[in-house]
Amino acid sequence: MRGNCYIPSGCSVSGIMSESGRRQDGNAIIKSIALMHDRANGLGGGFAAYGIYPRRSDLYAFHMMFDDMAAKERCEEHFKDRFDIVLDEAMPTRPGGAYEEETSGRWGERGVQPIINPPVLWRYFMDVPEDKTKFVSDREYVVGEVMEINSTIDGAFVASSGKNMGAFKGVGYPEDIGVFYKLGEYKAYIWTAHGRFPTNTPGWWGGAHPFCLLDWSIVHNGEISSYGINKRYLEPFGYKLELRTDTEVVAYLFDLLVRRHKLSIELAAKVLASPFWDDIDRMPDRERRIATALRQVYGGALLNGPFSIILGHSRGMVGFNDRIKLRPMTCARKDDMLYMSSEESAIREISPDLDEVWSPRAGTPVIGELDEGVA
Amino acid sequence: MAATSELPPEFIVKIDYDRCRRCKRCVMNCSFGCMHFTDRVVPEHKLCVACQRCVTYCPEHAITVTKNELAYKENANWSPELRKNILKQAETGGILLVGMGNPRDYPILWDHLLIDACQVTNPSIDPLREPMELRTFLGRKPDRLEFVERDDGEIDLATEIEPQVRLDVPVIFGAMSYGAVSLNVHRSLVMAAARSGTLMNTGEGGLHRELYPYAGNVIVQVASGRFGVHSEYLNTSAMVEIKIGQGAKPGIGGHLPGEKVDEDISKTRMIPVGSDAISPAPHHDIYSIEDLSQLIYAIKEATDYEKPVSVKISAVHNVAAIASGIVRAGADVVTIDGFRGGTGAAPMVIRDNVGIPIELALAAVDQRLRDEGIRNNASIICAGGIRSSGDMAKAIALGADAVVIGTAALVAMGCRICQKCYTGNCAWGIATQRPELVRRLDPQVGSARLSNLLTAWSLELKEILGSLGVNSIESLRGSRERLRGVGLDSQTLELLGVKPAGVGQ
């Protein structure tokens, strides 16, 4: 299952959020990402959804991928002493499923079937035993476990590990992946999606986006040219970068900056896509002091290279670009809905009549948050 | 070397008497006494050091200096150098003294490292059209920042950041003491550092009072002899450096002969005129890491915790563990000096046989500090063997915050690397205190040439960053993923943390 190649990728991204917390099914996000079919090449697609497990919202939902049943057994042996498994079941899927529109028809022309050779897909709703959290928080504990499973259990991969959320991803066009995972049957207040155009082909399900850790999810169009140092910056903090793709550093950096270092999302975005020194020098005193310190201290976390990223977490969705906007991103609002996408057309496809449409400035995050009081 | 020595001359000076107009400029320019004038110019070959001064300044281009080819009969085992050295020692019974860095044919790993570039999937960036940032800060950084919310709802920084020194270009001029080099060299270096937004390092000979206005661009060094160290000196600086070792002569002290200690040097070094200035091999108040820590904090107390303190060590076998100890002892900056680093004078046997290559030392230190989670606690400066902007970029990618140039700076000011610095006869006015030679280097010209060099290297570094598709030096620093090795064995690659060329990400 795990390829040995590194995969730089082009791609499409799309995100939908209801700031009032209304949940809607996955058909809209599938329709949106399907429009950008040509930005992907069938070698990876995926979705992250928030609010999908309201009845089990206090449990960590692990979406797992296994190479084979032996890997599943190895992993369950590992889980046995580390978690209380409340429920585990096969991921509901529709093997051979395909998005019925013309775009996916091209698979047929090429003589390839949609969604082939899925790994063993299983989900676990788990609690962290109390005795495990004497010295670390349960979230810290889960992060450590995710790192350990991904790096030490052969053939097992954690696709997502948050509460009341999950990742649905695989090798194929995203719209077909959406159908394969029956996303029409889930309801979420945030949906993000990714269609992938990797420039080489390990065909690895775990390598598709979104990348998730706890409730963080990242879909990413671009290439992190600073991957080498971002990886070396993260490693001393205990993150194991084993997935051979640059996108995972984004998820781990957000986890480090926001969860562990308690920076706000705005400040974290200023670290990852920092203002230029020329602009910092012109800032008023307080802002300049803060921006200077962020660059001095977090230089190893600066993301360089072309990217547009949509970050999902349980309270919101953040879209942002690299410092000189080398990849596209368009945002829009309609009533309580916030949209972000690689192309405006993918937003108009599902919401033709918008209140507001804009292209965010380079390096400037667009932040969607659940209204206060929304649980 | 006495003219009665049996050593054959190393070089032959040829005068083209058809072209020579007997202007005697070569006689005036030769500081080694090689050129005599009777009715025409007659060279004393034995005294020639091939410094190229006469060749450069002959208006008729009538002089050429060549090797004395068959001074020693060919022998693959007994090189001319070995025989020359034995003859010298047989005549004198002394330690062989040499100047400049290790000239031997050891592998230069910089030349086995290649840099990545973008194609298609990530666009390269044109540094002439887009911002390209080289600004670097040296000093201890916290692992994380904390913020407080003020009454007006705005946030403010709660973490106090320790003093940082800003560099506009990540190249610092290396430590060369006033005494070893002339005051005009110090003037040139400090003026260029000020113009280019970087630092010069005083070396261990103190700072001439005339240069005190440049405090913001000066690293003041505290070495084992403590020459010129006083409270005002420590505070007339951007940073203070404790010199433990020097790459060219690890474990060895220094010796400035009394002939060089004139009035000005005497005042600057705080020693009597004409007395030898001897730097002991160790600091006699530092026999352990805890002693070093005491000196670091003594200096911090003396400078009111307003300046970063650097500790400079030579690259030796155990450099990574030593560097880690230094950071934990309180140093804000670690300077590692490789075995190819320069010197005004060192015993040849030490210079040519002791220490390890800076590339390996740098890689080991950066990785060790990261493994221990203390890389943010100190900046790493890489010294000893940086010859070009390419070397600089590779050093930064291996993990250096900034690099040091010593020899390259001297070459920019005219040095021809004739390796006779220890004689005090430098024809280019660099490593000398003879007033008639010192004035050959005009600080205005010297500093302009140094600034030109830094400007050129900055432009080249920006081109490299642009081709890598990044627009800030932070994204190159420590990014070994962007380096590949050619012709290196797997163990060296592993130590460097670099993959072999041909392997993708």
CA-CA-CA-CA torsion sign (A211, B371, B404, A296): positive
Residue B220: what pLDDT? 98
Say whether pLDDT at A2 is over 60.
no
Between B143, B161, B482, which is nearest A228 by CB? B482
Query: Which DSSP string corresponds to A256-314?
Result: IIIIIS---HHHHHHHHTPPPHHHHHTS-HHHHHHHHHHHHHSGGG---SSEEEEEEET
Residue B463: which residues within 8 A CB-CB, separation 6 or more? B127
CATH of the domain at A281: 3.60.20.10
Active-site option among A11, A75, A212, A331: A11
Q: Domain for residue A147, yes or no?
A: yes
Would you say residue A359 has pLDDT above 90? yes
CB A329 within 8 A of CB A318: no
Range 110-149 of B in CB contact (< 8 A) with A: 118, 120-123, 125, 130-131, 133, 135, 137, 141-147
**Coil, helix or strand at residue B38:** coil
Give A-chain residues touching B122 at CB under 8 angstroms: 8, 222-223, 225, 305-306, 326
**How would you label B29-60 residue by residue, b for 16+ Cβ within 10 Å and e otherwise?**
bbbbebbeeeeebebebbbbbbbbbbbebbee
Kindly state the DSSP code that residue A371 receives in the 8-state scheme: P
Does any domain span residue A4? no
Considering the domain boundaries, does residue A249 fall inside one?
Answer: yes
Instruction: Lowest mean pLDDT of A110-124, A149-163, A203-217, name the range.
Output: A110-124
* Predicted local distance difference test score (pLDDT) of residue B504: 86
User: Which has the higher per-residue pLDDT, A222 or A299?
Assistant: A299
Domains along chain B? 11-71 (3.30.70.20), 165-500 (3.20.20.70)
> Is A271 within the bounds of a domain?
yes
Give the closest of A260, A277, A304 to B135, CB-based.
Answer: A277
pLDDT tens across the length of chain B (505 residues):
445 788 999 999 999 999 999 999 999 999 999 999 999 999 999 999 999 999 999 999 999 999 998 889 999 999 999 999 999 999 999 999 999 999 999 999 999 999 999 988 788 999 999 999 999 999 999 999 999 999 998 999 999 999 999 999 999 999 999 999 999 999 999 999 999 999 999 999 999 999 999 999 999 999 999 999 999 999 999 999 999 999 999 999 988 999 999 999 999 999 999 999 999 999 999 999 999 999 999 999 999 999 999 999 999 999 999 999 999 999 999 999 999 999 999 999 999 999 999 999 999 999 999 999 999 999 999 999 999 999 999 999 999 999 999 999 999 999 999 999 999 999 999 999 999 999 999 999 999 999 999 999 999 999 999 999 999 999 999 999 999 999 999 999 999 999 999 998 7
Task: Give the closest residue to A18 by CA, choosing from A315, A266, A256, A268.
Answer: A315
pLDDT, tens digit (0-9, with 9 covering 90-100), for A26-56: 999 999 999 998 888 778 899 999 999 999 9
Q: Which domain holds residue A56?
A: 9-369
Q: What is the pLDDT of residue A10?
A: 63
Q: What is the mean pLDDT of chain A?
A: 90
Return the pLDDT at B121: 79
Q: What's the pLDDT score for residue A37?
A: 85
Residue A5 predicted with pLDDT over 60: no
Q: Please give the residue of chain B at the shortest CA–CA distance from A286.
A: B156
Do the domain assignments include residue A138? yes
Active site (annotated) includes residue A5? no
Dihedral (CA of B123, B124, B129, B135) sign: positive
Number of domains in chain A: 1
Pairing verdict, β A211-213 and A216-222: antiparallel
pLDDT at A111 over 70: no
C-alpha radius of gyration, chain A, whole number? 20
Do the beta carbons of residue A250 and residue A309 sit within 8 Å? yes
**Residue A359 located in a structural domain:** yes
Buried b (16+ CB within 10 A) or exposed e, A235-268: ebeebbbebbbbbbbbbbbbbbbbbebebebebb
Is the residue at A312 inside a domain? Answer: yes
Strands B254-256 and B277-279: antiparallel
Which residues in chain B have Cβ-Cβ distances shorter than 8 Å to A306?
Answer: 122-123, 469
**Residue of B238, B192, B185 lying closest to B208 (CA atoms):** B185
Give the count of Cβ contacts less than 8 A between chain A and B.
125
Question: CA-to-CA distance for B313 and B245, rounded, in angstroms?
Answer: 4
Q: Using the structure block, give the residue that is written with the tokens 């991204």.
A: A13
Exposed / middle / buried, residue A24 (Cβ in 10 Å: 0-12, 13-18, 19+):
middle
